[in-house]
Amino acid sequence: MASNPLQDYADLSDLYVQNERMTREFDANTEFIGNGTFGQVFKAQHLIDQKEYAIKTIIIKEGNLVKGTVRELYDLTIKELKVWAKLDCDHFTQYRSSWLEAGHKNKELVLTVHVQMDLCWFTLEGAIHKMRTHFDRQVNQFLPTLGYYMASELLIEILEGIDYLHNSRPPIMHRDIKPKNILIKGSPYGRFIKLADFGLATEHLKESMTHTQAMGTDKYMPPEVRLSRYYGTKADMYSIGVTVHELFNFDLYSPQPKDDNYVKITTLNKTLLDGFPSNRPSCADTLKARH
């Protein structure tokens, strides 16, 4: 049995390292899919069940630390994985397994957390591009009626998934909602949207609870997060508002729509992007408003 590469690190020696697992369980021909929060994602075929999975790798090393220790960042990563792992629901990309590899590169200790999850078809970002191409629309040019209804169905599923998070006990904030982190895959239950990348997700135990500031992607970040104020689940609603711009192919500077449907969605969007979190509707409010 190979020696534990962490045995000389007092604060890491208790961690279970599986440096051979990736090569032992998966085909060597992996394919790069893209980048996620804190890591890269690859497609790999499992040697036992012959199914293809997405494998996310999260690299932890001292050179990448902004603050804290390698152990603290590892523990935070595992805490966030546990939030995701308990979401056994069709709204989300399903977590399957995870393991740790450890070694040294240029004399620097490197931990690599591998996360095995279900493989999806493509991202919402890719779907938006396909819709623009199909309907021959430029960026920020309203979609035709069929495109509007397609986008509406996808938005409903996004809201249902986030509503599930916000109504969990305790509530869960995703904190990095954007088209790149929303995946598309068919299911026996007729759903297509799968929320993914829970690398920044956290439990919101009470309204007075503080959270790490400036978390998320800048374009989708609400002002209360950017300005280091208290924030809660309404922060996710702002991110949904920015996503709505892209999904329905308009922005704040688009001309006033003449179509009644677009009047409704642009009006809703203004409330989602309100600078005051208390003025933003919840997912439940938004879903009720469509009836």
Q: What is the pLDDT of residues 152-187, one digit of tens each?
A: 999 999 999 999 999 998 899 998 999 999 999 987
In a domain, 4, yes or no: no
- Which of 118, 142, 173 terminates a domain? The answer is 118
Beta carbons of 191 and 90 less than 8 angstroms apart: yes
Residue 203 burial by Cβ neighbours in a 10 Å radius (0-12, 13-18, 19+): middle
SS (H, E, C) 18-51: CCCHHHHHECCCCEEEEEECCEEEEEEEECCCCC
In a domain, 36, yes or no: yes
Is 61 annotated as ligand-binding?
A: yes
86 and 229 within one domain: no
Question: Which has more pLDDT, 35 or 43?
Answer: 43
pLDDT at 214 over 60: no
**Mean pLDDT score, 37-46:** 88
pLDDT grade for 206, boundaries at 50, 70 and 90 = low
pLDDT at 208 over 50: no
pLDDT at 96 over 60: yes
pLDDT at 38 over 60: yes
268 and 220 within one domain: yes
Distance, CA of 229 to chain centre: 22
Which CATH number covers residue 110? 3.30.200.20
In a domain, 5, yes or no: no
Which CATH number covers residue 202? 1.10.510.10
CA pseudo-torsion sign 86, 87, 89, 92: negative
pLDDT grade for 223, boundaries at 50, 70 and 90 = very high
45 and 179 within one domain: no
Q: Compute how many other C-beta atoms are within 10 angstroms of the C-beta atom of residue 8.
A: 10
Distance CA(41)–CA(35), nearest Å, equals 6
DSSP 170: S
165 and 53 within one domain: no
Q: What is the pLDDT of residues 73-89, one digit of tens each?
A: 999 889 888 888 888 88
- Which of 91, 118, 145 terminates a domain? The answer is 118
Beta carbons of 81 and 28 less than 8 angstroms apart: no
Phi, psi (5° rounding) for residue 95?
-70, 135
Range of the domain at 222: 122-289
Are β-strands 172-173 and 122-123 bridged in parallel, bridged antiparallel, or unpaired?
unpaired
- Which of 75, 93, 118 terminates a domain? The answer is 118
Work out the angle at residue 244's Cα, subtended by the Cα atoms of residues 77 and 265, and round it to the nearest 5 degrees. Answer: 145
